[in-house]
Amino acid sequence: VAEVKGGEDQGAAWVGKELTVRGWVRTCRAQRTVTFVEVNDGSCLSNMQCVLTPETEGYGQIDSINTGASVLVEGVVASSQGGKQKVELKVSKIIVIGESDPTSFPIQKKRASREFLRTVAHLRPRTNTFGAVARVRNALAYATHKFFQDSGFIWVSSPIITASDCEGAGEQFYVTTLLSNSAEGGCLVNSIPSKDGRVDWSQDFFCKPAFLTVSGQLNGETYASALSDIYTFGPTFRAENSNTSRHLAEFWMIEPELAFADLNDDMACASAYLQYVVKYILENCKEDMDFFDTWVEKGIIDRLNNVAEKNFVQMSYSDAIKLLIGSNKKFEFPVKWGLDLQSEHERYITEVAFGGSPVIIRDYPKEIKAFYMRQNDDGKTVAAMDLLVPRVGELIGGSQREERLDYLEARLDESNLNKDSYWWYLDLRRYGSVPHAGFGLGFERLVQFATGIDNIRDAIPFPRVPGSAEF
């Protein structure tokens, strides 16, 4: 259907041509002499309006052409009399492939709430909203690879199971499998097997605690220390118990790592990347973006155009704190140099102070940032940067990495992390260390930002959040 209706002429060039459509029935309206069946094949938002008459082969099955049924329709493309579409299909033959009981099909014609649709996540891609989100998500993934590939970055697969905690925040899911007793074996998540309170890791599959990765960065750095610019793009996991509209337990992250680069190069790469993917969907997903603009977040196209065109605001963490204090606004969480910015602060900065522009905040206090970030000359801050966007808050977190062995060892000690388990990471600083920098972008937050979808649970096909791993 996209091939027919997606062109500039909305299908006019197809008039008179034969066409077969396979898809799912959205609605079926019977009039006196003709029946209109709206069929969607998922290739685009538009349905194909299929016009049936009693002469249509298969017309006898009319009672089973219900919402949700799958059908094959053959016919000839014709100009449509109705104002809603340029073309329709005059159907010569229809076959109902899979019936759908209209009394129990969960997605009824009236618009269902997104909360409800989460309970039928297996069927929600059949709706306009979730079909559009899936296509735009796909386009963003494609544009991500295209941007980095065209810029000479090499895609690296970082491991999903790992023994190191990149962020040092202790938010990993444990992956343990007992080898000793296969009857009791299996994946125990976040529960370490112990009979007497002690853990015998020699009996474990990996012979040491292993986790689902929170970030591919440390592994990414090893490849950047050999291949120069690389990126990872894969699933990451966090066992943070935050029931918010911006957190998932399983999310996808894009993590470029640039060799021979500093924080300025990193920020420039993050800005260019974000602008590229935003432009890409505005140009290549017009129909879906119009849909979001009309039904999900009014004005989103203008706002994204702005993002694609304008330079992003940059400011230091210290200036951001001054700005927040100077605003005299009552925030729920305290604002003070040394404390992390909360979502309400981030949103104030991008939404109110800078009128909806993305803002990059840099040079955070080292105490609130991860051990691997490069210490600045002031001894108090690190070369970190967060890119904030309206509604979503933190979209990107990145930094220049500490490439000096002695500084990095000192930071590991200060952070109470065990140096021995980072031996291979420290080796990168022993053998041919280079200044390097990178960032991580939460892909679902990008989908949220690009579509206007307000809850991150609707930006991924099957959300994993506390208390829910159905489907």
Selected range binding ligand 4AD among 180-188, 250-258, 356-364, 424-432, rule: CB under 6 A = 250-258
Count Cβ atoms within 10 A of the Cβ of residue 39 and give its class: 0-12 exposed, 13-18 middle, 19 or more buried. Answer: buried
Strand-pair partners of 316: 362
Q: Which residue of 124, 137, 247, 411 would you call a contact of ligand 4AD, by CB under 6 A?
A: 247
Q: How far apart are CA 53 and CA 2, in angstroms?
A: 25
Pull the structure tokens for residue 25. 């029935």
Pull the structure tokens for residue 424. 């291979």
What DSSP character marks residue 296?
T
Place of tokens 């933190």: 394
Alpha carbon separation from 285 to 122, 139, 142, 207, 254 (Å, rounded): 24, 8, 12, 48, 21
Q: How far apart are CA 4 and CA 77, in angstroms?
A: 9
Over the window 288 to 317, marking each residue x when it contacts ligand 4AD by CB under 6 A and - when it does not, the resulting string is ------------------------------
435 binds Mg ion (CB under 5 A): no
Instruction: Restricting to residues 340-399, name those near ligand 4AD by CB under 6 A.
Output: 394-399
Over the window 72 to 91, marking each residue x when it contacts ligand 4AD by CB under 6 A and - when it does not, the resulting string is --------------------
Q: Which residue of 5, 26, 445, 457 would you call a contact of ligand 4AD, by CB under 6 A?
A: 445
107 contact, one of Mg ion, ligand 4AD, none, CB 5-8 Å limit per kind: none
Binding residues for Mg ion, total number by CB under 5 A: 1
Selected range binding ligand 4AD among 4-12, 104-112, 243-251, 417-425, rule: CB under 6 A = 243-251
Q: How far apart are CA 31 and CA 17, in angstroms?
A: 25
Determine the residue with CB nearest Mg ion: 397
438 binds Mg ion (CB under 5 A): no
Instruction: Restricting to residues 198-227, name those near ligand 4AD by CB under 6 A.
Output: 215, 217
Residue 466 DSSP SS3: coil
Q: Report in angstroms how near the CB of residue 415 gets to ligand 4AD at its nearest.
A: 14
Contacting residues for 225 by C-beta, under 8 A, at least 6 apart:
259, 428, 432, 433, 434, 436
397 binds Mg ion (CB under 5 A): yes
Closer residue to ligand 4AD, CB minimum distance, 302 or 340: 340
Contacting residues for 113 by C-beta, under 8 A, at least 6 apart:
none
Summarize as ranges the residues that interact with Mg ion (CB under 5 A).
Answer: 397
Summarize as ranges the residues that interact with ligand 4AD (CB under 6 A).
Answer: 166-167, 215, 217, 238, 240, 247-248, 251, 253, 255, 394-399, 438-442, 444-445
